[in-house]
Amino acid sequence: MEIDLKQVDAVLDTYKRRREFLIPILQDVQALYNWLPQEVICRVSEGLEIPLIDVYGLATFYKQFSLKPRGKHIITVCLGTACHVRGGPRIVDEFSRKLNIKPGETTEDMQFTLETVNCLGCCAIGPVAVMDGEYYGGMNPAKVSQVVKKYHGVKD
Ligand code: FES
């Protein structure tokens, strides 16, 4: 994917290049690419006059930021206690099997990234998975197929 740094500059301008907005700036920039490429981090560092090491420090501290390329669609499966006891690990396994990737990996065609998280704050509807921000409760293996198919013509 080509990186258009003008888009990064536009985000910086939206926040008037103020350092206190580093987190929302990184969130908005990440939304453009689904991850934070090195040249983007450098541009943010220059634009806000924050040392590169500090921007990297923050980006590595928060799990929401990714310094590795991620797919077009992000699947997050909850493995918090409530979801775990209701079969969360089976849901992860099923996504892994269907997409042929392990948690933390991205499919070769850059369509899907599989991630896990500890509690999404909606334990009552567990096990829960989130696909591109859309929540799916009461997950089971059959629903995994439906969710994957909805986003991409992945075969059984
Ligand atoms: S444990 Fe999964 S949403 Fe809370």
> How does DSSP assign 29-70, residue by residue?
HHHHHSS--HHHHHHHHHHHT--HHHHHHHHHHSTT--SS--
Which pLDDT band, with edges at 50, 70 and 90, does 151 fall under?
A: confident
Residue 89 Cα to ligand 1 middle (Å)? 12
Q: Inter-axis angle of helices 88-99 and 141-151, to 10 degrees?
A: 40
Q: Which ligand 1 atom minimizes the distance to the CA of 80?
A: 1
**What is the mean pLDDT of the segment spanning 30-43?**
94
**What is the mean pLDDT of the segment spanning 42-62?**
97
Q: What angle do CA 103, 60, 76 make, to 5 degrees?
A: 30
pLDDT at 155: 45
Q: Is the pLDDT of residue 89 over 50?
A: yes
Q: Is the pLDDT of residue 120 over 70?
A: yes
Residue 116 Cα to ligand 1 middle (Å)? 11
Q: Is the pLDDT of residue 4 over 70?
A: yes
pLDDT at 154: 45
Ligand 1 cavity residues, CB under 6 Å: 78, 80-83, 119-123, 126, 128
Which pLDDT band, with edges at 50, 70 and 90, does 125 fall under?
A: very high
pLDDT at 2: 79
Q: Is the pLDDT of residue 91 over 50?
A: yes
